[in-house]
């Protein structure tokens, strides 16, 4: 058994996956009477491609990797859940997270009866390799890192991540939901070097397609095949696959929007820093800003009563009096700033 196979839960190693009609016949035929679909054309009477072949080919081209290094999920949240379910034995294994971070890692672990080992990032929201290494015991099967980190916005130090990747024998998942807003290529170029690395990306943020629910996991073919083995057969619907493909074909639109958001982000940071109610705006590589206010909950309530909703993170570790503010359109940002100025 390979090193990666031996990390997989026993019941998953032994699992015989569901074989759909489209698995048993994948060629082209004239008459399909194998899946109990309706024969009448409604545009959507046929099941979607369970392997998302066309979409994977386009993503492979976009990312410079092979289709067998790609898993496509119903949002990257699906990939988070499947990674935990594939590699963590309930009531026995655990994941490690670095707080403050995205909430879904803990939620998925809790749903699956998997324990959570928590370490705190530094005051500047950086990972501390020695603290993580100390916290790792036999039970830790996956380390979740988020870079750029949500809610702090910063890219994590890549050298420190590489250090961790070389020292640790389990899986390291790097969630790069916001990587398109950072001046950094992320970890996709290093997948070949680290077979136990999995990189998560999504169409929900920079691509502007949160409603389609399409997330990606990039990893070694061995890890990807484990995810494919346990996913729901038709996990990504036909419309989402089609519209996602269209977006990839018009990737220039996305790049223009990303550039606009980055420009607005810098403007917003500069203007927020001038406000007397603002204590600090953290540096960011994402499409949001973590801001320390003098009294965050008052500001949150005032903004809400002006029908402007931001995310109150003031109860989160290292985020006292912090609000997380997503960069909006120029008009939205203008209204936000004027509302804050009037407080």
Nearer to ligand PLP, 74 or 321 (CB): 74
| 204 and 177 Cβ atoms separated by less than 8 Å | yes
Scan residues 89-148 and list those touching ligand PLP (CB under 6 A). 102, 146
Minimum Å gap between C-beta 220 and ligand PLP is 21
Site string for ligand PLP, 76-95 (x = CB under 6 A): xx------------------
Site string for ligand PLP, 153-192 (x = CB under 6 A): ----------------------x-x---------------
Query: Coil, helix or strand for 292?
Result: strand
Minimum Å gap between C-beta 335 and ligand PLP is 24
The interface region with ligand PLP, picked from 31-39, 64-72, 156-164, 197-205 by CB under 6 A, is 197-205
Query: Coil, helix or strand for 250?
Result: coil
Instruction: Count other C-beta atoms under 10 Å from residue 285's C-beta.
Output: 20
Instruction: Count other C-beta atoms under 10 Å from residue 34's C-beta.
Output: 12
Minimum Å gap between C-beta 201 and ligand PLP is 8
Strand-strand pairing, 322-326 and 140-146? unpaired
The interface region with ligand PLP, picked from 9-17, 201-209, 240-248, 324-332 by CB under 6 A, is 201-209
| 52 and 72 Cβ atoms separated by less than 8 Å | yes
| 15 and 230 Cβ atoms separated by less than 8 Å | yes
Say how far apart CA 198 and CA 22 lie, in whole Å.
27
Nearer to ligand PLP, 143 or 177 (CB): 177
DSSP 173: E
Residue 150 contacts ligand PLP per CB under 6 A:
yes
Minimum Å gap between C-beta 198 and ligand PLP is 13
Say how far apart CA 221 and CA 211 lie, in whole Å.
28
Residue 287 contacts ligand PLP per CB under 6 A:
no
- Alpha-carbon distance values, 109 to 116, 149, 309, 316 (Å): 7, 19, 29, 19
Listing from the earlier edge strand, what are the strands of the sheet with 278-281?
Answer: 278-281, 288-293, 322-326, 311-312
Q: Out of 94, 147, 154, 202, which residue is the one contacting ligand PLP (CB under 6 A)?
A: 202
DSSP 125: S
Site string for ligand PLP, 34-73 (x = CB under 6 A): ----------------------------------------
Q: Out of 61, 167, 210, 256, which residue is the one contacting ligand PLP (CB under 6 A)?
A: 210
Q: Out of 94, 147, 204, 219, which residue is the one contacting ligand PLP (CB under 6 A)?
A: 204
| 243 and 214 Cβ atoms separated by less than 8 Å | no
Residues contacting ligand PLP: total by CB under 6 A: 13
Say how far apart CA 87 and CA 170 lie, in whole Å.
9
Point out which residues bind ligand PLP (CB under 6 A): 75-77, 102, 146, 150, 175, 177, 202, 204-205, 210, 215
């Amino acid at each position: 058994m390979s090193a990666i196979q031996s990390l997989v839960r026993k019941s998953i190693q032994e699992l015989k996956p569901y074989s759909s009609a489209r698995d048993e016949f994948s060629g082209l035929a004239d008459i399909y009477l194998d899946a109990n679909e309706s024969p009448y054309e409604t545009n959507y009477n046929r099941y979607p491609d369970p392997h998302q072949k066309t979409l994977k080919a386009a993503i492979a081209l976009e990312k410079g990797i092979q289709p067998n290094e790609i898993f496509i999920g119903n949002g990257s949240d699906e990939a988070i859940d499947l990674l935990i379910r594939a590699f963590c034995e309930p009531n026995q294994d655990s994941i490690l997270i670095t707080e403050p971070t995205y909430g879904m890692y803990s939620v998925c672990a809790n749903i699956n009866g998997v324990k959570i080992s928590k370490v705190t990032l530094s005051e500047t929201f950086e990972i501390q390799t020695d603290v993580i290494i100390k916290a790792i015991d036999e039970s830790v099967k996956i380390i979740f890192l988020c870079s750029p980190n949500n809610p702090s916005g910063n890219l994590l130090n890549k050298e420190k991540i590489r250090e961790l990747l070389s020292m640790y024998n389990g899986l390291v998942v790097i969630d790069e939901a916001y990587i398109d807003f950072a001046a950094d290529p992320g970890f996709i170029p290093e997948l070949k070097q680290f077979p136990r690395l999995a990189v998560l990306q999504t169409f929900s943020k920079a691509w502007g397609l949160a409603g389609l629910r399409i997330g990606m996991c990039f990893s070694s073919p061995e890890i990807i095949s484990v995810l494919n083995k346990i996913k729901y057969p038709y996990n990504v619907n036909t419309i989402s696959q089609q519209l996602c493909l269209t977006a990839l074909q018009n990737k220039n639109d996305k790049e223009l929007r990303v550039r606009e958001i980055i420009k607005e982000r810098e403007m917003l940071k500069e203007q927020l820093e001038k406000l007397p109610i603002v204590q600090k705006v953290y540096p960011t590589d994402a499409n949001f800003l973590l801001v320390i206010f003098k009294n965050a909950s008052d500001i949150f309530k005032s903004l809400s009563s002006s029908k402007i909703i931001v995310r109150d993170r003031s109860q989160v570790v290292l985020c006292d009096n912090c609000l997380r503010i997503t960069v909006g359109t120029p008009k939205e940002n203008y209204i936000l700033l004027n509302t804050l100025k009037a407080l």
